Amino acid sequence: MDAIYDDRLVKPQAAWGAVLSMALCVTVLIASEFMPVSLLTPIAGDLGITEGRAGQAISISGIFAVITSLFIAGLVKHIDRKRVLISFSLLLVASGVVVTAAPNYTVLMIGRALLGVAIGGFWSMSTAIVMRLVPEDAVPKGRAMLNAGNAIAATISAPLGSLLGDYVGWRGAFFLVVPLALLALVWQWISLPDLPPRGRRTTGNAFRLLARRQVALGMTSILLLFMGQFALFTYLRPFLETVTSVSVSTLSAILLVMGLAGIAGTWVIGQLLSTRLYSIVIVIPLVMALLAVALIGFGAMPIPVTGLLFGWGFFGTAAPVGWGTWLSRALRDDAEAGGGLQVAVIQFAITLGAAGGGLLFDAFGWWSPFTFSAILLLGSALAAVAAAIDDRRAAK
């Protein structure tokens, strides 16, 4: 094999620093993606739009993440992966600047579209790159670092965004991600080794993977899970302000509790995945559906709502860990295309969930996206059951 394709050129001593730089970038990406959740009210007021339209700031980033993740493997197949990752980090910086300075709704959407490209591209390549940066037996640890970045972002983005938005405005809250994105970019430049394209061929076509029944069922469950999650999660702030009637400081505290629960859930469920993968991916959406229904019933009571959202954070944040483990097993032979497909499905689901939830919120009131969420999550559990049955049949 030509030396240019030899993965042994990756230096072991550089690997963990590179993985950590990627984890920081993941933290900033996810924090940027979901920060509008805690800032819908001030964004809508400043730009003169409804909260449902403001929620589309998450939908638009999801659309562009879908497009990018589906085609990125083929577009960059001849480009060094280090350059690819750094390019996406540059887009992350540009997005933060554009959103901060946005004079109107259209420019805000442009900034969020740039973020979507960065999210779709970075996440699609991340699993395959970690598999090249560390030995095979250390890949779970490397993926855990990226998931930790995801959990940290889920912990800090909503409560910190809410708190900062109250003191420095929503624009100031968005601008604070720019220096962190620059730090991640510089760290990647220093720590990432050259990652030339691999010599062996992969499918390169994410859609072809759906011909596998197990993959199709798993992706269906993922789609419904994330649709259900973000149909509800995107509109938590107006729910907590208007139905639960909490102050901004209490709102921030509740969102922080959710985030801390997510870190705990990621760790606990991560310990169980090696032996109970399908049980976990079935139970998580089932429990979340029950929580969504309970939030409708107890929405006006702050203490029960806080407890229910603790459970939502515990299970919801951990869900990607389960399906990430499933991906590494089901699509080990085509990690880049498989990663692209999974990211596309997740981002498409976030887009549909946030958009559908926003339409329902504006048309029928706060309870309708919560009901929609519960139905979708039940569907996710059923699809996961079908995937488990198919996997067991294939193993016989």
Q: Which of 187, 188, 233 is nearest to 361 (CA)?
A: 233
What domains appear along the chain, each with residue ranges and CATH number? 8-194+209-395 (1.20.1250.20)
Q: Cα–Cα distances in Å, from 278 out to 41, 99, 270, 389?
A: 38, 40, 13, 9
Q: Cα–Cα distances in Å, from 23 out to 65, 85, 297?
A: 18, 12, 38
Length of the chain, in residues: 396
Spatial CB neighbours of 149, under 8 Å, sequence gap ≥ 6: 22, 23, 24, 25, 26, 27, 30
Q: What is the pTM of this model?
A: 0.75
Residue for token pair 């990756």: 10
Q: Write down the pLDDT at residue 13.
A: 47
Q: Write down the pLDDT at residue 15.
A: 74
- From the first residue on, what is the mean pLDDT of each consecutive set of 10 residues in the chain (396 residues)? 39 69 89 80 84 78 85 81 92 93 91 92 83 74 74 71 78 89 93 76 64 87 94 86 85 82 82 79 95 93 93 88 77 70 84 86 89 96 91 73
Q: Write down the pLDDT at residue 206.
A: 65
Report CA torsion sign: 159, 162, 167, 170: positive
Q: Which of 156, 64, 45 is nearest to 105 (CA)?
A: 45
Q: Write down the pLDDT at residue 335.
A: 62
Q: Write down the pLDDT at residue 2.
A: 37
Q: State the amino acid at position 137 in one-letter form.
A: D
Euclidean distance between CA atoms 98 and 174, whole angstroms: 10
Euclidean distance between CA atoms 333 and 1, whole angstroms: 19
